[in-house]
Amino acid sequence: MKRIVVPIDFSEDSINALEHAIIMANKLQTHIRLIFVKKSRNFDVQFDLAKDEPEYKKSVDHYFDMLIEKFRDKYLVSGIFDYKIRTGSIYREITNQAKYDDAYLIVMGTHGVSGFEEYMIGSNAYRVVSNAPCPVITIRLGYLPSELKRFVLPIDISRETRQKVPFIAELALKFGAEVKIVGVRETNRKAVIFKIEKYCDQVYNHLISLNIKCSKELIYGDNITKITLDYAKEVDAQLVSIMTEQTESAESLWLGDYAQQMVNHSTIPVISIHNF
């Protein structure tokens, strides 16, 4: 059975991500593995998950037991719902765990206890996105858990932009979701418009052949991140898909800063997919 890995630091942000992950696991019929990373072997924390309890010094294991017990009834799969505690670099241990588990997905909050500074290269969430061996869904605190009914699939001029299509198609079939294909561009050059239209047509025809409800549209603006997110809000999407890296062309739209801006700014969950 496939597995979803969920990084947990017991912040409200990470617990919210877990609730999203449980909904996904129920649909996808996957195991859930939680992971907590200690910064050193001497590191331990006192958390206050049960605010009506007197505060006792408890182990991380104890809090994981409490957390799993709290959410076990919502996990409707006859599969494994467990946790691992690792020591070391936060992003590296999360991505290593995903490799060991051959994870299908990582689902994580973007902020957590330590926060997430704007444009900060090396933030844990973005480092996980950049180094993970599988797709990563990042979720901001405040976005309430819900069924995934509508995806936004941005298509740009790069050849790699279509490599996210198979995974998104698989998710759409599992969730019975609609896919909004949107061609995005920052120029009115005819050659660019023609190429993006061709790519969108290819993606549309592929999804239709799989009996996935979909539509296609082209949008234009000065900032790809902004117009994509504005469009996602307009169509009430529950997931926006991006590639984390593409060719080193000046016309690649999701390199570095764009992917990071999307993870930082989106109030809608973002699924980041590598060019595997």
Same domain, residue pair 14 and 130 = yes
Residue 145 is predicted with a pLDDT of 87
- Let me know if 104 is exposed, middle or buried by CB neighbors in 10 A (0-12, 13-18, 19+): buried
Q: Splitting the chain (276 residues) into consecutive groups of 10 residues, what average pLDDT does each group show? A: 93 92 96 87 47 53 92 93 92 95 94 44 73 93 89 92 94 97 94 96 98 97 91 96 62 53 86 83
**Residue 230: per-residue pLDDT:** 95
Q: Are residues 132 and 45 in the same domain?
A: yes
Number of structural domains in the chain: 2
Question: Could you list the residue range(s) of the whole structural domain that residue 154 is in?
Answer: 150-273
**Strands 239-243 and 150-155, sheet pairing:** parallel
Q: Is residue 194 domain-shared with residue 109, that is, in the same domain?
A: no
Same domain, 118 and 158: no
pLDDT of residue 253: 42
**Is the same domain home to 187 and 131?**
no
- Name the pairing type of β-strands 239-243 and 3-7: unpaired
For residue 145, being part of any structural domain is answered with no
pLDDT for the residue 115: 40
Residue 144 lies in a domain: no
Residues 125 and 20 in one domain: yes
pLDDT at 116: 35
- Residue 195 in any domain: the answer is yes
Tell which of 81, 108, 139 closes a domain: 139
Residue 43, pLDDT score:
43
The CATH number that applies at residue 64 is 3.40.50.620
Q: Do 13 and 118 belong together in one domain?
A: yes
Q: How far apart are the first and last CA of the chain?
A: 21
Is residue 92 domain-shared with residue 184, that is, in the same domain? no
- Residue showing tokens 């504005």: 230
Number of other residues whose CB lies within 10 A of the CB of residue 23: 18
pLDDT on residue 165: 96
* Residue 244 within a domain: yes
